Structures are given as structure tokens and as C-alpha cells.
A and B are shown apart, each in its own frame.
Chain A
Amino acid sequence: MTTSARAESAASVKKTPVSTRRRRSILPERLHVHAFLWVVCLIVTFPVYYSVIVATQTSSEVYRYQFLPGNALADNWNIVMNIANLGQYMLNSVFVTLVVTIGKTILSLLAGLAFVYFRFPGKWIVFGFVLITLMMPTEILILALVRLVNGFGWGSNDSTAYLALTVPFLASATGSFLFRQHFANIPAELSEAAQLDGARPLQFLFYVLVPMSWNTIGALVVIQFIYVWNMYLWPAMAVQGQERQVVQVGLRTLVSSDTGISFGPLMLGAVIASIPPLLVFVVLQKQFMSGFALTRDK
């Protein structure tokens, strides 16, 4: 449909009485929609609401099924932080996630710069080399990866655990393509002007391209932060010591008890472990939506 035809049809919608009649009759339909969305919101929110409530309760309170906060928040906090050592796990997760997210973003920016602003022999081979890795989920090759990383001596003790958790994930095909796509839509005049002014490629990247790419960077940060923070199988397999374990796996210490699970501390741990990714997601939601490739043709 051409733009003029679309404008025409939009105009005709405004003019015809049909649309005003529809608007009036839509009112009960909208109440209907509100009711439906209320129910869905309730169902989606309830599990987390209940988890937060249980996080403040003693075991006996949990089995009385109350929907109001209990009195055991301080006790549960004590168990979670001092006995289960969740504070250390949180610090580990924060460190690992920040290193991987920042590293991935920088390496992807460099790769995007090379793909769009340079002409070099074998470009499409290099491009294909990166593209194919999109079809290689880490989970498939995780056994061989563990052997490789342990062969380097990474992950076997506390000082090398961070290496095993970060280095294999520093490159990102998704990120490289996201930036390649984004840079390709930036007018070429910009880099010509920058070159006339004597800018070197990295100066052009950090002073011109990066300030124009905050939405894309924000989208990549959201995806990667959540991906890395939520990793479970890899840290469980690659890190042997407990001292440098990430929080997703560290929660296990709250589950495995001989006397049955005490849900108060477990849920407090789960809630604490979910705060950083939720925060990043809520803060960068707009960037996530507008920077993502889906909306690129607009």
C-alpha cells in the first residue's frame, strides 16, 4: 500500500460516520478487554507476589497460607546472607555479568565497524564465519567446552573461576549483526566528513557512532545482561569451588537440606537473585524495544 493511499484511507476513516458509530459501540467491548487484562495481570503477577510474601514468613506461617507479610524477614535474611552465603554469590554474578556485557558490547561495536566501514578481502568468508555461530548453542558443545576450559586450568579453583565464567562468552554474533545493521543505515556522508576532518576509525567509532547508537547499545545490554545473569548450566558445570559460584546455582544451597525445604529463605534468595535483571529490564525497556532489529524498517 502506498503512503498516499494509506493517508487517504486514514482520512476516510476520520470522515465517515461509521467510525464514530463504532467508537460509541466499542465501550462495553473495552470493559471486556480491561477485565481480561486484569485477570491476565493477576495470574502473571501472583507467583512473584506470593514469593515476596513467603520470603518474609516462617515455615509455620507458610503453611497457614497467608497473603500478608510475616515476621521472619530478618531471620530469613540472616539465613540467606550468613549461612547460605548468598551475598558472595550475588557479588560474583554482578562481576561476571558486568564483565561479559561490557566486553560483548565493545567487541560487537568493533566488529560492526569493521564490517561496515572497511573493504577487505575475504569479507564474506569472515561474515559467514560469524553468522554460522548463531546456529551453535553453547549447550550442545558444553561437554567439550568444559574439557577445554578445565584443560586451561580455569574454573578448578577460586582464582580462575572468573576466567571460566567470562572469557568464553565475550564475543557475540548477535551483537555484531545488530551493530552492522545499525551502522549500515547511517548515511555514508558522516564517515566521509569524519575522514576529511582526519578522524581515525576508533575515534569515529567512539565520538560519532556510539553517541548515535545508544538505543541499539541499550537493547544489546538488556539481552546480554539477562542472558548472562540467568546462565545456569555452564556455571554449574564449569566452576568447581563454591566461593566463586554465581547466584543462580548458589540458590541450590537453600534447596538441599535434609529436613525438607524451608521456603522462607529460599524465596527470599530467589527474589534477591531476580532484582538486578528486573532493574535492567525495566530501566532499559524503551531502548530494548526501539533498538531491536524488529523495528528497524521504521
Chain B
Amino acid sequence: MSFQFPILIIATLLGALYMALRFRRLRLSIPLGAGVGAVGGIVGSLLFMLPLNYCMFDPERDLIDAVFGVILIALGMAIILIPSALMIGSAVERRRNPNSESAGGARQGQFRGLVAPFMLLLPTLIILALFLYYPSLETFRLSTLLTRLGAPRSAFVCVDNFTSLASNTVYLNAFATTLFLSVAIVALSLALGLLVATAVFQPIKGASIYRTLLVWPYAISPAVAGVIFLLLFNPTGGIINYFLNNTIGISIPWLNNPSAAPWVVVIASVWKILGYNILFYLAGLQNIGRDLTESAAIDGANAIKRFYYITLPLLSPITFFLLITNTTFAFFDTFGTIDYLTGGGPLRATTTLMYNIYEVGVTNGDLGKAAAQSIVLFALVIGFTILQFRTAGQRVTYGA
């Protein structure tokens, strides 16, 4: 195969260039950086290509497969090069300022023994390796196969399971639904959580009673939340419609209407997660204390200005943490709610990516396609987390 060699050379050069620039910024030897980068570039480009054997560049494949291959090579290089650059940077930093050693390193009072720590960690490591790492790698392997649940044989299909997603309308629909539900749930639950926490934080009597009354839905399961909101919103005599009918004379077929049903999922999910957000915002407000806002009040800042310029920035680490946990909740935990509430309907209007994976993998038994969809979702979660760290991370204020 003639195309592997040029790809490797380009990867080597790009890796060398990247690391050379990094090393120059760290005031280290530039040729050394280029060497390290060249090795990193080769390893990174082989990360996905070695198991896949450059199959997407075969002449009989489509252009989209080749594009996907290039993306995979770039991704592999990023996975190898960026963390190594960060690690080298922090190692250099530590060597230059030995005083700022982290608490774990120079700690006194440690026990002797080399076997003992591994014995203590062994159960954790075995379970993580067997039940998290192995299935993760297995998911990657499955995603390149045409294989069915319980079928003994399978065929290698390169990246077809991924590239076919781009033209799969059912999948794209689930993608859009997931985006809508996530944005609606996260925005509403964060805004309401902050609003209510600010109210509970006011110096009022019975604040702890309010807090207890508000936070407990966190303990209720997404599945039970689905059951409860099925009772409230069901089309044949749900109480919400009874209220609406008696007060303003309208009745909405909530769960049978493709544009109303997602909102019921949003309402049920916000109801369930709100208590969690209130709890964490309240903890954040207590950590900040009232000193700063009170002195700002003396300086003449009104309540809105105090909130916007003092409280909100100081709460940003918590907002950041809640943004990630709530998004994960919206991606994965809504499954139970949806399964009881709508079963993904009507007309697939509440079929999220996770629900779709379940249908493709379990109901239809198409393991390879479901595995590919799982990996795209995995990439979304990781990508979202990194994006948050990069954008919000710079504006986040730590410590009061």
C-alpha cells in the first residue's frame, strides 16, 4: 500500500513542528522537542490506524471514509501529543520551582512496603480494568464490525458504521432531540436552581425548612419521575389538562403531540435535578459568605449589581461543575424518565441518542451500529467536557 508512507511522514513532521514550538515556549532544546514530537506524531497517527489498517483509504471506498480517516489520524495525534506536552510542561515547572511541590509527594509518615499498596489497590484496579476498560475497548472493536446480538460470526466493515450515520435520518433526528433536551434541561435547571438558592440564602426565618422541602427530589429516580409525570400529563385524564380545561378552557394532548412531549420530559427532568442544583448553589453561597456583598452594598451597589459583579463570578466554579453533571444527566439519566413517560414517542420526538442506542443495539440487535453510536456519544461527552474546561475554565474564579 503506497499511501501509508506519505501519511506517516506528514504525521511525523506535524508532530515534530508542534513539539518544537512547545519546547521553544518552555525554553528547552528545540531539536529535542522535534525528536519527541516526531515519535509522538508516529505513535498518534498509528493509534487508530494500526487496528484499522488504513482500511478507509482503500481505492474502492468513498471520499467520506477517507475524510473520516484523516479526522481519526488527527484525533489520534491530538490524544498523544497534547497530554504529553502538558505533562512535560508541568514536569519542567516542578523542576524549576521545587518549593511548590504538591502535598502528596513530600508527605511524612508513610508506611513501608511495596506489595501492600498494590494489594490495597488490586480489587479496585481489577474491577475497573475488567468492567470499564475492557468493555470500552470492546466497544471500539464492535463499532468496526457487522455483528448481531447472539450471532456467532461477524464481518469487518471498516468505518461504515460511523460514516453511514451522516445519512441516517433517524439518528440525526435523535441527535437534534438530544441537543434540544439537553440545552432546555440544563439552562432551566441551572437558572431556576440559582434563583431559588439565592432566595433560600436570604436571611429569612425557616430557611432550613425551605431547603429540606426543596432538595429531596434529588433522591427520586428518573424512572419514578417518569411515572409521576405520566400521572400528571397523561392524555386520558391527567390532572394538568383537567386544570387547564377548567381555568382557561384548553387541553393539550401532551404525550401524543410530538412538539409537546419533549417539554414534558424537560419538566420532569428539571423537577428531578433542581434540588441537586439548589443544594450545590446554596453550598457555594455559604462559602462566599455575606461580607463581600455587604461591603459592596455600603459602597452603593444595588442588589442586581451585587449579584452580577460579585456573587455570579464567585459561583462560577459551581456553575461549571453543575454544567457538566447536568449535561451528563440530560444525556444518560433521562433514559428512565423517557422509557416510562413516552417510550421514545410520539413519532420518535423523545428518542434521544441513548434511547436510540438501546433500540438499535437491543431491540434491533445491531451491535456494530449501536457501538458506533455509543462511541460518537462518548466523543461528544469528552469533547463537551474539554470545551467547558477551555472556555469556562478561563473565566472561572476560584476561591473567595
Interface residues of A, Cβ cutoff 8 Å to B: 1, 6, 9-10, 12-13, 16, 18-19, 22, 26, 29-30, 33-34, 36-37, 40-41, 44-45, 47-48, 50-51, 54, 62-63, 65, 107-108, 110-111, 113-121, 126, 129-130, 133, 135-145, 147-148, 167-173, 176, 184, 188-192, 195, 201, 204, 226, 229-230, 232-233, 237, 248-249, 251, 255, 260-261, 263, 266-267, 270, 273-274, 277-278, 280-282, 285, 289, 292, 294-295, 297-298
A251 touches B227 (CB 8 A): yes
A1 pairs with B204, CB closer than 8 A: no
Count of chain B residues near A, Cβ 8 A: 100
Q: A144-B371, A148-B135, A281-B218 are in contact. Are A33 and B199 (CB under 8 A)?
A: yes
Q: Are A188 and B202 in contact (CB under 8 A)?
A: no
Q: In the bound complex, what is the Cα–Cα distance between A188 and B116 (angstroms)? A: 19
Is the beta-carbon distance between A295 and B231 smaller than 8 angstroms?
no
**Cross-chain contact A129 with B128 (CB below 8 angstroms):** yes
**Which 8 A/B pairs are nearest by Cβ-Cβ distance?**
A230-B221, A118-B117, A232-B336, A144-B135, A171-B127, A191-B109, A188-B109, A144-B138
B138 cross-chain contacts in A, Cβ below 8 A: 141, 144, 147-148
Please indicate the chain B residues that have their CB under 8 angstroms from the CB of A176 in the complex. 124
Contact among B127, B135, B221 with A141 in the assembled complex (CB-CB below 8 Å): B135
Q: How far is the CA of A51 from the CA of B239 in the complex (A)?
A: 11
Q: Which residues of B contact A126 (CB under 8 A)?
A: 121, 125
Shortest Cβ gap from B170 to chain A (Å): 18
Closest partner residue, chain B, to A48 (CB atom): B228
A54 touches B220 (CB 8 A): no
Judge whether A278 and B236 touch: CB under 8 Å.
no
CB–CB B117/A120 < 8 A: yes
Q: Which of A33, A114, A195, A261 contacts B202 (CB 8 A)?
A: A33
Q: Could you mark each residue 371-384 of chain B with 1 if its beta carbon is under 8 Å from any beta carbon of chain A, else 0? A: 10011011001100
In the assembled complex, how far is the CB of residue A157 from the closest CB belonging to chain B, in whole angstroms? 17
Q: Is B263 an interface residue (CB 8 A)?
A: no
Tell me the nearest residue of chain B to A127, going by C-beta.
B104
Residues of B within 8 A of A285 (CB): 212, 215
- For A204, the chain B residues whose CB sits under 8 A away are 111
Q: Report the Cα distance A6→B220, complex, angstroms.
A: 41
- What is the chain B residue whose CB lies nearest that of A204? B111
Please give me the residue from chain B that is nearest to A138 by CB atom.
B132
Question: Contacts of B234 on A, CB cut-off 8 Å?
Answer: 261
Decide: B196 and A37 in contact? CB cutoff 8 A.
yes
Cβ–Cβ contact B399 & A13, under 8 A: no
Tell me whether A136 and B136 are in contact in the complex, defined as CB-CB below 8 angstroms, given that A50-B239, A110-B124 are known contacts.
yes
Q: How far is the CA of A181 from the CA of B130 in the complex (A)?
A: 26
B114 sits at the interface (CB 8 A): yes
> Is B68 interfacial (CB-CB < 8 Å)?
no
Choose one: A50, A119, A169, A192; the contact of B231 (CB below 8 Å).
A50
Binary interface profile of B, 219-235, with partner A (CB < 8 Å = 1, else 0)? 11111100111111010
Say whether A47 contacts B232, CB under 8 Å: yes
B221→A133 contact, CB < 8 A: no
Complex Cα spacing A171 to B124, Å:
5
Nearest CB on B from A289, distance (A): 6
Residues of A within 8 A of B237 (CB): 62-63
User: What are 13 A-B interface contacts by the 8 Å CB criterion?
Assistant: A33-B202, A36-B199, A107-B124, A114-B116, A118-B116, A139-B332, A144-B135, A192-B108, A195-B111, A201-B113, A230-B222, A251-B223, A277-B219
Is B36 located at the chain interface by the 8 A CB criterion?
no
Asked whether any CB of chain A lies closer than 8 Å to the CB of B40, the reply is no
Assess the B378–A41 pair: CB atoms within 8 A. no
- Say if the beta carbon of B213 comes within 8 Å of chain A: yes
Which residues on A sit within 8 Å (CB–CB) of B280?
294
Bound-state CA distance A260–B235 (Å) is 12
In the complex, the answer to whether B220 meets A298 with C-beta atoms within 8 Å is no
B219–A107 touching, CB < 8 Å: no
Distance between Cα atoms of A1 and B314 in the complex (Å): 13
Q: Is the CB of A41 within 8 A of B210?
A: yes
Contact B298 A294 (CB under 8 A): no
> Which of the residues A44, A232, A263 comes within 8 Å of B222, measured between beta carbons?
A232
How many Å lie between the Cα of A266 and that of B204 in the bound state? 39
Given contacts A117-B109, A270-B227, contact A44 B128 (CB under 8 A): no
Beyond the given pairs A141-B135, A261-B234, 19 more chain A to chain B contacts, judged by CB atoms under 8 angstroms and listed by A's residue number, are: A13-B298, A48-B220, A50-B239, A51-B231, A108-B124, A110-B123, A117-B110, A126-B121, A126-B125, A133-B133, A143-B374, A148-B134, A195-B111, A230-B221, A232-B336, A249-B223, A251-B340, A255-B340, A270-B224
In the complex, chain B residues whose CB is within 8 Å of the CB of A171:
123-125, 127-128, 131
| Residue from A18, A45, A54, A168 within 8 A of B298 (CB atoms) | A18
* CB contact under 8 A between A113 and B120, given known A135-B385, A143-B142, A148-B135: yes
Q: Are B125 and A278 in contact (CB under 8 A)?
A: no
* Contacting pair A201 B116 (CB below 8 A): yes
Complex contacts, B239 vs chain A, CB 8 Å = 50, 65
Q: Is B26 an interface residue (CB 8 A)?
A: no
| A24–B198 CA distance with the chains assembled, in angstroms | 20
Q: A54: which B residues are within 8 A, CB to CB?
A: 231
Find chain B residues with CB under 8 A from A114 CB.
116-118, 120-121
Stretch in B4-12, B16-24, B354-362 with 4+ CB within 8 Å of A: B354-362
A133, B132: Cβ atoms under 8 Å? yes
- Interface residue? B166 (CB, 8 A): no
